[in-house]
Amino acid sequence: MQKHKLIRSISYFAMTGLLAFVMVKCANPVSPSGGPKDETPPVVISSEPENYSANFSDREMKIDFNEFIQLKSLQQQMLISPPMENMPEIKIKKKSVIIELHEDEQLNENTTYTIFIGNAVVDLTESNPYPNFEYVFSTGSFVDSLSLKGIVKNTFSGLPAENVSVMLYADENDTIPLDSLPLRIRPSYVAKTDKEGNFSLHNLRNLPYKIFALNDQNSNYLYDLPYEEIAFGDSMVYPYYTGSRTIAVIDSAAMDSILLVEYDYTPTELYMFSAIDSTQDIAEHGLLDNYKIQILLDFPCENYTLNPLNFDSTLDWKIDEPNARNDSILAWIKPVVPDTIQIEFIADGIILDTLEFSVKKPEKKSGRKNKGSSKKAKGKDGVDTLAVKIVPLKVVSNLIQNTAELGQKIKLDFDYPLEQYDFSSFIWIEDDSISSIPDVFFSDSSKRHLIINKNLVEKVKYKLIIPDSTLFNIHGKLNDSLIYTFSTKNKDEYGNLVFTIVPDQFDIPWIVQLLDDNDVVLKEKTITKEGIIRFENMNPGNYKLRAILDENENGYWDTGNYAYKRQAERIIYLGAEIELRANWDFEESWELK
C-alpha cells in the first residue's frame, strides 16, 4: 500500500514539474527568426474630395492609405503648380495625409492645380515611399490633361542640370510683356528636374507657353538674382496629349473637349547659362608678391587704363599683362613708384574705381640678409664681413621628369618680366655635341615667357645651359647658372588623334578643343570648312573633344544674356571620352550640328 502511494506521489510531482516547464516556455516566447523585409509601399485607398476633382471649392483634402504613414523630406520635394501665394499645410493623422489650404489663399478660376509631394509619404516601419504622389484638382468644370516633357543641361559642360525649376508662362497677360514675366511675375506652371535633367509638366491647358529653366537660389520663382542660372526657349512651346484615351478634356477655361490621338514628340531641350551683368565692375583686385597688381573684371573689356593719381603718370612705372579676354589683368610694378600708390582704373572709357596699394620695398641695409643665403667674406681690412647673396630670379620650365615631348617647344617662364638678357650666351648640346643656338624669342609682350624654337627629334639627349647672370628682371634679380638636361621619347610611345570635321555651318568658325580628363584645354584649332584635324604625338590617356560655334568670332566661348535675348554660344561634345593608346591612331568623323 505504501509503495503505491509513493509511486502516485512521484507521478504527481513529475507531472507538476512538466506542466510548470511548459508554462514557463509559453510565458517567454523566443523571437521568430528572420522573414522577408517589408518593401511594399503604402497604397492610397480613398481621397476626399476625390483626386482629379473638378469644380473644386474645399479648403481641406484628406487622402487615406492602407497603413500608418509619416512624412520624410517634405520641404525638399513639395511643389505646387501653378504656385500659390501661401503654401498649404501638410500633416499626418494616423493613416491619412491632410492638406489644408491657407484661409487667405485665393485660387484662380478655371485652373487645374497640382500639389506634388513626390516620395515624401512613407510607411511608418520601413520608410517605403509612395512614389511620385500628387493631388490634382480643378476650380473649373474640367481637369486639363495636356503634358510637356524635356531635358535641361548646362550649356558649357553638357551635363544634366539637376533640381532646377522649369517654368511655363501663358501668353494671356495684357499689362506685362511676356519677356518680362520671369523678372516680375510667377509662372503659370512649374516642375523640377531630376538627376538626369529630365522634367515633366502635366495637366496643362491647350495654350502656347513661354518656357524657362531657373536655378532659383531664393525659391521665389523669379529671375531676380545676378548669378542665377537661366535657360529660355527662343520660341513658344505647345503641350501635347499622351495617354490611351482618344477623348481628352484639354482646356478647363474654355470648357471644351476634342478628339486627340497620341503621337510621338520631340522632348524640349533647354541649355542653362550664367549671364554676365551688363554693368562692368571690378570683381576682385589685390597686390601680389609686393610688386604685382591683379585686377579681375566681371566681363571682358575692349581697352583699359591704370591712371596714377599720386605720382607722375608719365613715368615708365609698370608692365601690363592682360589675358586674351581682357578680363584678368596683371600689372608688374617697377621700383620707381612711391611706397603707397593710388590709381584710377578705367575700362572702355568709364572710371570703375580708385584703388590704393602699399608697396613693400625690400630693405637695403649693409651686412644683413636679404631673404637669401649668406656667407662670410674677407673685407679690405681683413675682417670677416657678412656677404649678402640676392635671391635669384625664379625660372620654371615645361620639362617633366627631364623629358621633352615631341612636337612641343621648350618654354621657360619667369616670375617677373625680364629687362636685360643675352640669348647669345646660351649653349645648346645634342647627344654630347655643341650645336648652333636655336632661335629664342618671347611669346608675350611682358617678356615673361621664353620659347626655345627647336624641333626636337625622337631618342635624342639634349642640354640647355644658361650661364650665370645673363638674365635680369625689372627688379634687378639675376639668374644663377641654369642647366637643363633632358631627352625625348620614341615616337611609338605616343598616339595620334585624327578627326574628320563636318560643320553644319560654313560661314561661322568652329573652335575645336582637345581636353584632358580634367577638362583642361590642351590644344585647339579653328575651322570654317570641312577638313581633317590632327593632334599628333599625344601621350596615352583619356581625352575629350568639344566644339564651340564662335558666333561673334572673338576666339572664345561667350555666355548668354536674357536681357538681350541672346543664347550662350553652342557647345558640342564628341560622345564619350577617347581612350588613346601608345603607337595607335584614333580616327573618327564628327558632324557638327
Provide the pLDDT for residue 476: 87
Sheet holding 350-358, edge to edge: 304-308, 340-347, 350-358
Produce one character per residue of 225-259: b if its CB has 16 or more CB atoms within 10 Å, e if not.
eeebbbbbbeeebebbbbeeeeebbbbbbeeeeee
Residues facing residue 557 across a β-bridge: none
At a CB cut-off of 8 Å and minimum separation 6, what does 529 contact? 503, 506
- Whether residue 577 contacts residue 164, with contact meaning beta carbons closer than 8 Å, is answered with no
- Length of the chain equals 593
* Domain at 45-272, CATH from 3.20.20.70, 3.20.20.10, 2.60.40.1220, 3.40.50.1380: 2.60.40.1220
Distance CA 51, CA 202 (A): 14
pLDDT digits (tens, 9 = 90+) for 377-425: 344 444 443 344 557 889 999 999 999 999 899 999 999 999 999 999 9
Nearest to 140 by CA among 218, 217, 52, 233: 52
244: region left, alpha or beta (phi > 0 left; psi from -120 to 50 alpha): alpha
Asked whether the predicted pLDDT for residue 179 surpasses 80, the reply is no
- Residue type at position 459: K
By mean pLDDT, which of 9-23, 325-339, 472-486, 504-518 is the weakest? 9-23
Nearest to 557 by CA among 522, 526, 518: 526
As a whole number of Å, the CA-based R_g of the chain is 38
Asked whether the predicted pLDDT for residue 368 surpasses 50, the reply is no
pLDDT digits (tens, 9 = 90+) for 330-352: 999 998 999 999 999 999 999 99
pTM score, two decimals? 0.72
By mean pLDDT, which of 66-70, 256-260, 338-342, 553-557 is the weakest? 256-260
CATH 2.40.30.200 fits 395-489, yes or no: no
pLDDT-based confidence at residue 5 (cuts at 50, 70, 90):
very low
pLDDT-based confidence at residue 575 (cuts at 50, 70, 90):
confident
Tell how strand 439-442 and strand 89-93 pair up.
Answer: unpaired
- What topology does CATH give the domain 493-592? Immunoglobulin-like (2.60.40)
